[in-house]
Structure 1
Amino acid sequence: MGAVKTKRMPRAVREQQMLDAAVRTFGQRGYMAASMDEIAELAGVSKPLVYLYLNSKEDLFTACIRREAKALVEAVRGGVRPGLPADRQLWEGLRAFFAHTGQNPDGWAVLHLQARTREPFAAEVTAMREEIVAFVTELIVVAAREAHRNPDLPEREVAGLAEALVGAAESLAAWANATPGVTARQAAATLMNFAWAGLGNLMDGRPWSPPQEPSETAGPRPA
């Protein structure tokens, strides 16, 4: 009887296996310290096969960024159910964000720690971040305009709030992943408690106003 032939693994499956190994290695070791030998060994393939599929270390890292960024954006968008009140939508988006980054700490390390500080990889992360900021901006601006019944609420102001909120979420995710026992729900609640009071006041038409500077209150100088 002849030898039994094993079924060949499809290229797409094998490639994802390599990306899984690469994300783990880059996330834990860093881009510079990670080696293609380590990645190939962890993936259970030869190093030439990694090069055959993904060309170079730089291309492999770029593929990891794109996969992890796409997964994060899809998780955040998919976590928000349309039609809910504004606070519930923001809550669900934040909880989905922290759940995903908590379940994929190596992927988050690739995006937040490794890629964003290195060219040309930073541009890939910037594109992902801009998409999330735009999504949060949309959530806030629609709810705020409905609360005010004002279609002319400055989008720049709301976009700034979304930028600050996403930045806070990124920092909090890094902290939560490094702090044992912090759940996605706890991290999301922390940020909601920090942010929603201000956003709620804005939507109710009670924004905080900075005090006037002396130069703004002083009258005109005598001639």
Structure 2
Amino acid sequence: MLDAAVATFARRGYRSASMDEIAEAAGVSKPLVYLYLNSKDELFTACIRREADALTAAIRAAVEPGAPADRQLWSGLLGFFEHTAAHPDGWTLLHTQARTVGEPFAAEVALMRAEIVEFVTAQIAAAARDTDRADPIPAGCEVAALAHALVGAAESLAGWGSGSERSGRENAATLMNFAWSGLANLMRGEHWTP
């Protein structure tokens, strides 16, 4: 039922999707859909939570603990982009539909994003601690800001690349080349200043 709902919401949008078409796509009766989830709002929320949990789990599972910082970043990005490429309806639901419908759905996506940003922040901070430099991240350049920038770039690239012929691996490599050049320079103490 959730698979059918995710596909319907992603393709038709929250407002245009009907419980009748979701029930039909799931091969169940409309009353059965309402039996499990009391309303369209609850069904949409359940879809968002399931897709958010799956995406977050894919990122966490992909990162190789104990690997060098660049390898951890690469594996996390690869996990993100391969998951979004393999689940385009889920990504559309999270990235486009839930954010544009408004509250309380946008808040659900914001929770997922905050969890991912927190995870990436911890990864960047760990990489900075592992350098032999006393101050690998310059004053005024917060680790959390770097994490927000990286997550935002990944979301944007996944949104841009959805529906294209680019693979998750290609998108991950594009962002890795862009991000690691800057992060590696920071870790070596090479900071750009205006």
Matches within 5 A, 1:175-194: 175-180=160-165, 182-194=166-178
Q: Is this contact kept in 1: 2:51–2:94, CA < 8 A?
A: yes
Larger radius of gyration: 1
Q: Deviations over 1:100-150 (max 9, x none)?
A: 000000000110001122111111100100010111111111111221444
Aligned to 2:24: 41
Q: What 5-or-longer segments of structure 2 have no aligned partner?
A: none
Aligned to 2:149: 164
Q: Is this contact kept in 2: 1:68–1:111, CA < 8 A?
A: yes
Matches within 5 A, 1:22-41: 22-41=5-24
Report the secondary structure of 2:65's partner residue.
coil
Tell me which of 99, 104, 108 is aligned to 1:120: 104
TM-score by length of 2: 0.95
Q: Is this contact kept in 2: 1:145–1:203, CA < 8 A?
A: no
Shift of 1:73: 0.3
Following the alignment from structure 1 to structure 2, what is the Cα–Cα distance between the partners of residues 96 and 85? 16
Distance 1:161 1:152, change over 3 A: closer
Following the alignment from structure 1 to structure 2, what is the Cα–Cα distance between the partners of residues 94 and 155? 25
- Larger RCO (CA within 8 A; separation ≥ 6): 2
Aligned to 2:42: 59
Report the secondary structure of 1:178's partner residue.
coil
Q: Is this contact kept in 2: 1:72–1:100, CA < 8 A?
A: yes
Q: Does 1:73 align with 2:56?
A: yes
Following the alignment from structure 2 to structure 1, what is the Cα–Cα distance between the partners of residues 71 and 34? 46
Alignment length, in residue pairs? 192
Following the alignment from structure 2 to structure 1, what is the Cα–Cα distance between the partners of residues 187 and 99? 33
**What is the Cα-based RMSD across aligned positions, in Å?**
1.6
Shift of 1:62: 0.2
Q: What 5-or-longer segments of structure 1 have no aligned partner?
A: 1-17, 211-223
Following the alignment from structure 1 to structure 2, what is the Cα–Cα distance between the partners of residues 159 and 48? 46
Distance 1:57 1:44, change over 3 A: same
The letter of the residue matching 1:85 is P
Q: Does 1:89 align with 2:93?
A: no
The letter of the residue matching 1:144 is A
Q: Post-superposition, which runs of at least 4 consecutive aligned residues in structure 1 deviate over 2 A?
A: 148-156
Report the secondary structure of 1:102's partner residue.
helix
